[in-house]
Amino acid sequence: MNRVLKIIYQPYKWFIVIPFMILNTMIMGSICVVVGFIFSQDAADILAVTWSRLSCAIGPVRVKIHGKKNYSRFKSYVVVANHQSMIDIPALHGFIGLKIKWVMKQELRKIPVFGAACNQLGCIFVDRSNHDAALRSIEEAKKKLSGKSSVVFFAEGTRSRDGRVMPFKKGAFMFAMETGIPILPVTIKNSMALLPSDTVDLTPGTVDIVVHRPIHVSPYHVENIDQMIEGTRRIIASAI
């Protein structure tokens, strides 16, 4: 976006986009809590997809999915993605077409409405300051995972501040090996340019999501997990 258009966009961002995002989260989150409690996580997921698509539409942020032939929405995956921006969350949830359970830090559970909605969606809250508690959370998540659900890990553990893919943590890969669910590598491109980390400097544009071929974990053993981690990281980084 050129400088003139960016200046023109600012009032729209502050008076339309940001208030809408707050209202959208409060309303859809509240409905999600009720629907999830009365019906099911799958029913609540429909509302989460709607929230995600509305969030992108108001931006406006266009999302393009590349590699749809590499996965099926009727199967479960351990989705391993890079993380550049807060836009990554609605972009993935709203458009990839999978029933997603997020792995997120425990602190997000305390956010009014949002935390309760995520709980009804079956998200996995992890206390990253307590290793044993984090392992217990993952163990509980395995019991709740349905045959149609996919778990999303931002394997870097935090957002990249320069766009480069940082080293991956082991959690997603241990989860995949222990459950036998294939890893689905996903590359998120351009989201940092639309909303840089630690800012509200939102800019309209397009986020590209590249879905790579699944990696089946059965040939791997715990002893060579580092090989699997680095291989997955290279695949994701190759598309940026």
Q: State the Cα torsion 42-48-107-127 to the nearest 10°.
A: 40
Q: Residue 133 — very low, low, confident or very high, per pLDDT cuts 50/70/90? A: low
Give the pLDDT score at 103: 87
**pTM for this predicted structure:** 0.93
pLDDT tens sequence across 82-117: 999 999 999 999 999 999 999 888 888 888 899 999
Higher per-residue pLDDT: 223 or 225: 225
pLDDT tens sequence across 204-219: 999 999 999 999 988 7
pLDDT tens sequence across 6-16: 889 999 999 99
Encoded tokens for 46: 């429909």
**DSSP code of residue 200:** -
User: Can you give the residue range of the structural domain that contains 192?
Assistant: 3-238
Give the pLDDT score at 204: 95
Which three-class secondary structure state does DSSP give residue 63?
Answer: strand
**Total structural domains within the chain:** 1
Higher per-residue pLDDT: 96 or 174: 96
Among 88, 104, 84, 106, residue whose Cα is nearest residue 96: 88
**Which CATH number does the domain housing residue 149 bear?**
3.40.1130.10
Give the pLDDT score at 146: 64
Give the pLDDT score at 46: 93
Percent of all residues in the chain with a pLDDT value above 90, rounded to a whole number: 67
141-170: average pLDDT? 86
Q: In whole angstroms, how far apart are CA 175 and each of 59, 84, 147, 166, 182?
A: 34, 23, 15, 20, 10
Give the pLDDT score at 86: 94
Q: Which residues contact 206 (CB under 8 A, 6 or more apart)?
A: 61, 62, 63, 64, 190
Q: Is 85 left (phi over 0), alpha (psi -120 to 50) or beta?
A: beta
Q: Residue 134 — very low, low, confident or very high, per pLDDT cuts 50/70/90? A: low
Q: Residue 58 — very low, low, confident or very high, per pLDDT cuts 50/70/90? A: very high
Q: Residue 223 — very low, low, confident or very high, per pLDDT cuts 50/70/90? A: confident
